[in-house]
Amino acid sequence: MTYNRLESFSIVLLVPKWIHRVQSKKQESTFYVTPDHPYEILLFFRCHINTRFDVSIDICGVNCPSQEQRLRVLYQLPTTQYNSCIRIKIGVNEITIVSSVISISPSAGRWEREVWDTSGVHFSNYLGLCRILTDYGFEGHPLRKDFPLSGYVEVRYNDLEKCVVYELIEMAQEFCYFDLASPWQA
């Protein structure tokens, strides 16, 4: 059973308050949800008999600086009972706090920590929301578009002090930007 437009609309009719918009493309439906209710809508999707989306396989943070809601959080939910997969999108800005879904599906724990670490979206009701991939005292959120690819500090071992020190980055080579224009293209 794959989700098509008719079934997506029937879900929207059940919870009209929470869903902005539905988009259905290539047999995958995307639901745009208001940012205050991810916990409720994930609980609904998990428990409702027609939509047993019981795993949260991935939570992803996207940074779109040109739009008003600069950060988005995407939840990918497949279902083990029916063979389909939906996506839930929430648009937030840098200071909005999103409620955590860790009590519904424990697998969301690490993913939310990663979204906090890389994009800066804060999750409430989560004890232990701390940096997971970056260094111990890291400042900044790497996957935002305003964070440069090479970062701000570099690390090296200082022989005099016999320890690792952090210094501002010093690039020996210019940042190479690949501008590939093919001669075959019109």
| CA-atom Rg of the chain in angstroms | 21
Does 184 interact with another protein (rule: CB under 8 A)?
yes
Write each residue from 114 to 133 as x if it is in contact with another protein (CB under 8 A), else as -, in one continuous string. Answer: x---x------------xxx
**Least spacing, CB of residue 17 vs another protein, in Å:** 25
Q: Under the criterion CB under 8 A, does residue 180 sit at the interface with another protein? A: yes
| Torsion sign, CA atoms 47, 48, 54, 58 | negative
Which CB sits closer to another protein, 14 or 47? 47
Displacement of CA 106 from its chain's centroid (Å): 16
The tokens describing 161, both together, are 């002090």
- Output phi, psi for 14, to 5 deg: -75, -40
Separation between Cα atoms, residue 160 and residue 45, nearest integer Å: 59
- Residue 186 CB, shortest distance to another protein, in Å, is 8
SS3 call for 161? coil
Q: Applying CB under 8 A, which part among 13-21, 62-70, 93-101, 160-168 lies near another protein?
A: 62-70
Q: For the CB of residue 14, give the shortest distance to another protein in the complex, in Å.
A: 24
Residue 86 has phi, psi (to 5 degrees) of -125, 170
Residue 183 to residue 74: CA distance in whole angstroms = 38
Interaction residues for another protein, span 78-97 (CB under 8 A): 80, 83, 85, 87
| Distance from C-alpha of 58 to C-alpha of 87, rounded to nearest angstrom | 10
CB of 184 vs another protein, minimal distance in Å: 5
Binding residues (CB under 8 A) for another protein: these are 25-26, 28, 30, 54-58, 60, 62-64, 74, 76, 80, 83, 85, 87, 105-107, 109-110, 114, 118, 131-135, 142-143, 147, 149, 177-178, 180, 182-185
